[in-house]
Every structure is written in structure tokens, then in C-alpha cells.
Amino acid sequence: MFNKNSFRVTAILLLALFSIVPWQNADACTRFVYKKQKGKIITGRSMDFSIPIPGNMWVFPRGMQRTGETGEKSSVTWTSKYGSVVISSWDIGVPDGMNEKGLMANMLFLNESVYPDFVKNGYKKGLAISLWAQYALDNFATVAEAVEDFRNEQFVVVTDNIPGTNKKTTIHLSLSDATGDNAILEYINGKLYIYHSKDYNVLTNSPSFDKQLSINSYWNDINGFEFLPGTNKAADRFVRANFYLKYLPEVDSTHQAVATVFSLIRNLSVPYGIQSGEALDLSTTRWRVVANQTDLVYYYEDVLYPNTVWVDLKKLDFSPKSGVRMLPLIKGQRFMGEVSDKFIKATPFKFQGI
């Protein structure tokens, strides 16, 4: 058996190994699902990125006509079944949002992602990666519904360059719902892998999710109150998030639960200005989201312009006639508190395609 000192030595050696393997070269984000207030499901996520990633908050109603933006005859098409509140990236894509049924979609960088080949006017339709999260929010009330649809692989997810860079958008998609169910979707070597379980409450970046689970199984045998991996690396954040979720105490009120989720996602964030050369997994946290999926409240916190706003989705009109609305955040506009009445009518942005 290992004694306490042996555990520390082994852990340090393992951390040294993690620091040199190539799968850490990815932009950083963390996502977890909190279940420590009876009957409440709350998801927290950070958006960590090596360059500014400006975006606004949008309300999309039901009944929107969508296209996969991969060519007039080559795109999957659909009509949104559910309304949603989302955060945009550069107003060309959606990396995060929650729909009116409490389904949450979060996109996180995964350097290992390799998507299937796509041929315009081929036998399978395309979906631009900028729309992957929005497709889920528009079409599904639960994770189980989404998983059933995605397993059919009716379309090919098609990637493109990150604005202002020559780097491809390589991400995995996490889904959670108001029942506490979870799914992680990844494309590895052109094949779709779906991990579906109520136990899959944490996701960071690299490595692929199966390897994240293996790393965490090792750390489950170590007393995290005495030693936890402490760097900003994705594998370390995955371990810390799982540990804290396991040992956080039950709380009595929703206010306490939301405060707990914010405190944990801040703990897992990267300080503003931190960037380690070309190691993109050490990237500044740009913003954070906390989503109360039980009560349908969506919180947003900007790091550069410190403030927290939230939207009570129950106060929003998602009917087709209500139109698209936007809360302008891209230029550091300041709002305070609940902002469902602060959205303005807006022309929907065009999702980036090919």
C-alpha cells in the first residue's frame, strides 16, 4: 500500500507527465453540473480563450427558420421548436445557451477533434460548427432526445477557422438538462463519440473525454484535502472540479446554490492576463455563465467589465411573433441584476458557414 508521502510523489510524477504531453495544447474552458440543493440542477461554465471573444446575449424565439450554412443544397434545415437565451461569439456563432425547457448547451475547445469529411452536394447534409449548440437548443427538451437524434448522424459537422487566426475551430459539445442528465459529444478521427450519463457532470478540454475519466479515476484514490493538482491545465481542472463537486455540502436555498456554483467556476478560472506562450490551454477567462435549469434563470458574468446580470426565462415571450432580441454586451455596456426587460429588437446575426 502507498503511504501519504508515496501518494504525493506519485501525483507529482503524474503531473510532470501531463505537462509534456501534446494533448494540452488547447484553449481552456470548464463546465460542471451542480446537484447539491435538493431538486435543483445548475450548470456553471467558464469561457477561457487566448484572444478576446466578444459577444452579446440573444433571445431567439420559436419558429425560426434555420440552415446549416454549408451551401444552399448541402445544408441541414430546421424550424426552431424551442426558444432560447444564448451568448454569441463575435456574433457569428453560439458557444453557450439554455432553452425554455432547461436544456443547456456548452461548447468547449478540444484540440484532438477531427471531423468527418464533407462534400458539398454529397449524400449527407452539413451543419456549420457555429450552429452545433444552437441546433440542440432549437430542437430538444432533454438530453435523451438530443442523444437519440445525434446518434442517427443525419448531418456532418463542418468546421472553419477561428476569426483572426489560421486555427480550426475544434470543440466538443456538452449537454445537460433539468433532470440532471448529461451528454458529451466528440468527433475523434472523423467518428462521433457520445458519452451519456447523469454521472458525467464535469468537462474541460483535452484530452478526449474517455481519457479525462481515466485521469479522474486515478485521483479518486488520493485525499484531495491534502493534495490536488493545482495548475490551469485542463486535466488538473477536471480533477479539481470533480473533487469539489463531490465534497461540497448540501445547501438549503437557491441563493446559496447559485453562490456556490459561482464560487467554484471562479476557482476553476484562469486569472485575467495569464497566457503561457503558445500553450493555449493557459488562457484568460473571458466570461462565465451559471444556468439554473430548474428555475430557468441564466446568469452571465463578464471578467473585463466586472458585473453579473441574469435573465429569468419565465419572463420572456418566446412565441414566433415576439421576434429576435439582443442585450448589447460587446462594447462593455453595463447592466445590473435581472435584465429580461432590457433586450432590444434586433436583426438576427448570420452564423458563420462555409
The residue from 29, 87, 104, 270 that is catalytic is 29
Is 29 in the active site?
Answer: yes
Residue 317 · residue 100 · CB < 8 Å: no
Burial 173-198 (b: 16+ CB within 10 A, else e): bbbbbbebbbbbbbbbeeeeeebbee
Q: How far apart are CA 243 and CA 239, in angstroms?
A: 6
The answer to whether 150 touches 77, Cβ cutoff 8 Å, is no
Helices 209-219 and 234-247: crossing angle in degrees, nearest 10, is 60
Give the dihedral of Cα atoms 77, 183, 90, 284; nearest 10 deg.
-170
Active-site amino acid positions: 29
